[in-house]
Amino acid sequence: MKKYILLFLLVLAGKSYAQSVNDYKAVIVPVKFDFQKEENQYRLTTLSKFNLKKAGFEAFYSNETTPKGFSERCDLLYFDLQKENGFLITKLFITLKDCNGKIIYQSVTGKSKEKDYETAYNECLNQAFASIDALNYKYSGANAEAKVDAKPVKQEVPVKQEVIEVRAVAVEKAAVVNAVSNTDTSVKYLYAQPVANGFQLIDTTPKVVMKVFKTASPSCFIAIKGDNEGVLLGTEEGWIFQYYKNENLISEKIAVKF
């Protein structure tokens, strides 16, 4: 019963906030939150950007140069992850603010009793993003239309993106239909070397080809390969690296020996 009540509240929250959130082109994610001691601690910055893109948003780190068309500050939302005080419990919630610091949307508070910080923060972040997903974000272009001196622009309709379930053990075949990159005709294995919080995958050169980081699921890793960031998922057919490129979901089979 509680599950259905929570789902109802998430949908209700989505209807209440969707119109204002849809007015903004993209979201800027800081590389360090106020409660952290170092940048991207516990991979929270990377996970936040990944989950925003999964929810349909364009997202950029605060220290990267935004592409042409995203330079107007007030066309963007500003992401923040805030920690609440709690005795023997970790609590996190998300806020999306406009260029003047006004809160446009605040998520539900994620809670975890896990003692390990990385596990607890990951669990809280997933719960908080459940309400972000419920917004069903789609850019409306309202901010651009509201500017008196704005020049007419061609509104781009975002491509409907497939959802990657971070905790899933298997990937549905439908998630692979967007694009599959299999340029090698022969199997070339990558070999996993343990590093802090995950593995680096090397070829026979040896050269580091990918870096993968642990999540709550042993069959899912946050993955970085060159300029592409996504997830490495274990499926019945092997390991698949999934990431977004030009708003398209790319699925690439990776032969890995752990």
pLDDT in tens, 97-149: 999 999 999 999 999 999 998 999 999 999 999 989 988 999 987 665 554 44
Mean pLDDT of the region 151-180: 43
Question: Rounded distance, CA 33 to CA 208, Å?
Answer: 29
Q: How far apart are CA 250 and CA 258, in angstroms?
A: 23
Average pLDDT over residues 84-97: 92
The residues with which 61 forms a beta bridge, in sequence order, are 29
In the chain, the amino acid numbered 131 is: S
Look over the chain and give the mean of its residue pLDDT values, rounded to a whole number: 79
Percent of the chain surpassing pLDDT 70: 75
pLDDT(8) > 50: no
Q: How far apart are CA 222 and CA 26, in angstroms?
A: 22
The residues, any chain, with a CB within 8 Å of residue 58's CB and separated by 6 or more, are 25, 26, 27, 70, 139
First to last CA, the chain: 41
pLDDT at residue number 142? 63
Kindly report the length of the chain. Answer: 258
Closest CA to 70 of 102, 33, 99, 94: 99
Average pLDDT over residues 204-227: 87
Q: What pLDDT band is residue 160 in, cutting at 50, 70 and 90?
A: very low
**Single-letter amino acid, residue 55:** A
* Local confidence band at 86 (pLDDT 50, 70, 90 cut-offs): confident
pLDDT bin (cut points 50, 70, 90) of residue 196 is: confident
Report the sign of the C-alpha dihedral through residues 114, 120, 126, 132, in that order.
positive
Secondary element (H or E) of residue 240: strand 238-245
Over residues 21-77, the pLDDT tens digits come to: 999 999 999 999 999 999 999 999 999 999 999 999 999 999 998 888 898 999 999
pLDDT of residue 77: 95
Whether the pLDDT of residue 155 is over 90: the answer is no
Residue 92: partners with Cβ closer than 8 Å, 6 or more residues away: 81, 82, 83, 84, 109, 110, 121, 124, 125, 128
